[in-house]
Amino acid sequence: MIKKELFLLSIFILIISFSQILILKPHLEFGFSPDDVRFFSDFLILGSPFSKLSQAWQNTGIYQTPHLYYGGIMFSLFGFNYQTYHIASLFFKILSIISLYILIQVIFKNRLLSYISGIIYSFHYGSFGSMEMVTRTQDYLLITGLNIFFILFYLIFTDKLRDILWSISCSMVLFLTFLINPARAYSLLPFIFFLGVAIFLTKRTWSNFYRVTKHLFVFFSLLILFFILTGSGRASPGNPIAIMQKISAGNLQMLLAPFSSFGSLFLQNDSLKFLSSPTWALSDFINYFLGGPLIFFGVATMILSKILSKKPLKFFLGVFVANFIAELLIFLFIDIGKNLPDHLKMTYDPYTFTPTAVLGVYITTLTIFIFIEWLNNKQNKLLILYLLGITFSITSVLLTWIVYSLVHIPMGIYGYSTIPSMGVSVAISMIVVLTYKRIKNQEPFSKILAPFVFLILVLYFFYSNNQIQTYLKANMDYGNKASDQVSIKDKFWSFLKDDTTPCNNFFFLETIPNEQNGLNYSFIMIDRFDRWYSLYSPYNSKKPCPVALLINDEAKLLSSYTTLEEKEGFLYKYFNGGDNFFSLENFYAFKLQKRDIFDIKEEILEKIDKHIK
């Protein structure tokens, strides 16, 4: 039996490893992001980083410190060998998929379900979000740790692991998992409480209440102790307060933001044009509903009611009516927000964000009725998996939104999509497996058709892969390609090869407006120029190198020109804000255009001469 399980696991590992290598081949050409450069540089500046962990925690904060140390350790190991970082990231991602497979197999003991869950998550486009930068790929280690925790959680609550040492071990796993990336892990802590409450509700007795409370206290004890001793690490509750203020002022459309993010984990916005409205006006709602959602959601609900419910007509009508009301509220919220006075109104583009919100609201509505169905048919364990997967994803998305930007609504492939994509993948796998079983249990002729259900996975794979490849190509076009970064770096330093004072320089950079490739420089070079300059400096990358930078503003450059002690130069500020005089010998001017860099110092000096005259 064990040999068979190991054999099947080995086959699974081979399948997902091959698929990940195939999908992520372009990712091996990535270089560093601006945040990578910042974290690498700051880690080196610490000097003795592990002796200064407490100081870094207080100064950098709870959300940034893990990135700082994870990225710094990676840089200490791999240096500027770009491809090695991405091979390590690929390995971590494969490890997270394997851990999900084992989790599903341990709890549900269903090989088909385990396989499908792992395979869908392996190619789900949202699961690639953390690949956007090196210092976010620890999310895959977080997922692995989280799945190990859930395995122990299940075994402890099913009394298969009774010793208190297992509870303590579970607490340690949760604590270490949280430290990997608190910015992602914090949103999942309420989900663990939710699981505890659900376990208590299955048997509402004092003994079960004591049992659940005891285990949860042990699980969270290290985290509680940690925060008592170290503080919150500069965490701030400001964003939730701001959200409540904006919503109470009438910006009800903001309530759609988490649904936009959630819905985009099923289908991207560019695939949902049939759910868009030409006006998003309340007066046009009926025409909108009859023109798109009625057909799409009607057919989807009709099929799902046959698969999920013992009373399909009742299920269909309940979902249909509830979703109609929910979509009407979406239009109402948008209408109220659009008609607010300008000083209260928040910017919101319904054409960009609302189609995925409509899908997210529908799936949430569907989930509520699936929960009601499960209450009436608790023998269907597959419904539990769906409910857990969706609850996991919604919890992650909702709590991320609460502390995220007020104006930026993340959708599709982004750093915050990696973890909730796991719950979405599990929910989709349940629908696929349950559909397969329903058809298989019908008449003999229907059994022949059952395997064709898995063609859905093939279609979704091609859809996801197209989204991923588009995403990877866009990132490389914007300057994340390592070869472009190396080329621009080498040419930049070739202009400074005769410089005897590498620090205390003043740089003027001219970029071409609205040029797509110009984003390359704002990303990797301009955005963190002081860190980039220190990290890539051939002189001494382990010490901060004070420099000044001015971008595009020629008028400001000309006005900063002055003479001090009979020396010509510029009076300008360092990155830290301190004023300094830079002589012409310490002044450099470059134009960044079409992935290339050009020396324009003489051209700028000629303009200065004309300005003086």
* 174, 206, 230 - which closes a domain: 230
Say which residue, 154 or 517, is predicted with more confidence. 154
Confidence bin at 405 (pLDDT 50/70/90): low
Are 194 and 250 found together in one domain?
no
What pLDDT is recorded for position 303? 93
Task: Note whether 250 and 193 are same-domain residues.
Answer: no
Supply the pLDDT for residue 121. 96
The pLDDT, as a whole number, for residue 517 is: 47
Residue-range definition of the domain harbouring residue 529: 482-612
Radius of gyration of the chain (CA): 28
Residues 296 and 389 grouped into a single domain: yes
Order across the sheet with 505-511: list the strands.
Answer: 547-551, 505-511, 587-593, 596-599
On the question of pLDDT at 364 being above 50, the answer is: yes
Classified as helix, coil or strand, 274 is helix
Same structural domain, 246 and 361: yes
The pLDDT of residue 266 is above 80: yes
pLDDT in tens, 296-308: 999 999 999 999 9
Q: How confident is the model at residue 184 (pLDDT cuts 50, 70, 90)?
A: confident
% of the chain at pLDDT higher than 70: 92
- Interval 567-612: pLDDT, tens: 888 888 876 667 788 888 888 999 887 778 889 999 988 888 887 7
Give how many domains the chain has, as a whole number.
3
Q: What is the mean pLDDT of residues 212-239?
A: 77
Residues counted in the chain: 613
Contact 337, 253 (CB under 8 A): yes
Kindly state whether residue 290 falls inside one of the protein's structural domains. Answer: yes
Q: State the Cα–Cα distance between residues 90 and 78, nearest whole angstrom.
A: 15
Q: How far is CA 410 from CA 126, 135, 249, 262, 607, in A?
A: 11, 18, 23, 9, 44
Alpha helices in 292-349 (DSSP H): 293-308, 312-338
Average pLDDT, the chain: 87
At 229, the pLDDT band (50, 70, 90 cuts) reads confident
* 514 assigned to some structural domain: yes
Question: What pLDDT score was predicted for residue 241?
Answer: 75
Reported as a pLDDT band with limits 50, 70 and 90, residue 249 is: confident
What is the phi/psi pair of residue 402, to 5°? -60, -35
Closest CA to 29 of 483, 577, 603: 483
Q: Which among 212, 230, 248 is the end of a domain?
A: 230
Placement of tokens 């993340």 in the chain = 410
User: Contact at 8 Å (CB) between 308 and 383?
Assistant: yes
Residue-wise pLDDT tens digits, 1-37: 678 888 888 999 999 999 999 999 999 999 998 889 8
**Cβ contacts of residue 129 below 8 Å, gap of 6+?**
136, 413, 414, 415, 416, 417, 418, 421
Bridge partners (DSSP) listed for residue 549: 507
Tell me if 466 is assigned to some domain.
no
Mode of pairing for the β-strands spanning 567-573 and 579-583:
antiparallel
Give per-residue pLDDT as tens, 409-451: 788 888 889 999 999 999 999 999 999 988 888 776 667 777 8
Task: Look at residue 518 in the predicted model and tell me its pLDDT.
Answer: 47
pLDDT at residue 176 tops 80: yes
User: Is there a domain that residue 504 lies in?
Assistant: yes
Q: Which of 176-185, 207-216, 521-530 has the lowest mean pLDDT?
A: 521-530
Residue 117 lies in a domain: no
Distance CA 347, CA 367 (A): 30
* 249 and 226 share one domain: no
Contact assessment for residue 430 and residue 152, using Cβ atoms and an 8 Å cutoff: no
Are 309 and 402 in the same domain?
yes
If one counts every other C-beta atom within 10 angstroms of the C-beta of residue 432, the result is 21
Distance of CA 54 to the CA centre of its chain: 27
Of the three residues 203, 230, 257, the one that is the final residue of a domain is: 230
Domain assignment present for 330: yes
**Do 207 and 244 belong to one domain?**
no
- Give me the pLDDT at residue 232, please: 59
Is residue 8, in this structure, part of any structural domain at all?
no
Kindly state whether residues 553 and 489 are assigned to the same domain: yes
Find all residues with CB under 8 Å of 74, minimum gap 6, and list them: 85, 88, 134, 135
Please tell me whether residues 223 and 242 are part of one structural domain. Answer: no
Distance separating alpha carbons of residues 153 and 170, to the nearest angstrom: 7
Give CA–CA dist 355/365, Å, rounded: 16
Q: How confident is the model at residue 521 (pLDDT cuts 50, 70, 90)?
A: low
- Residue 288 CA to residue 337 CA, distance in Å, equals 19
Residues 142 and 176 both lie in one domain:
yes
Residues 179 and 280 in one domain: no
Please indicate, yes or no, whether residues 203 and 264 belong to a single structural domain of this protein. no
The DSSP output letter for 525 is: I
Residue 477, domain member (yes or no)? no
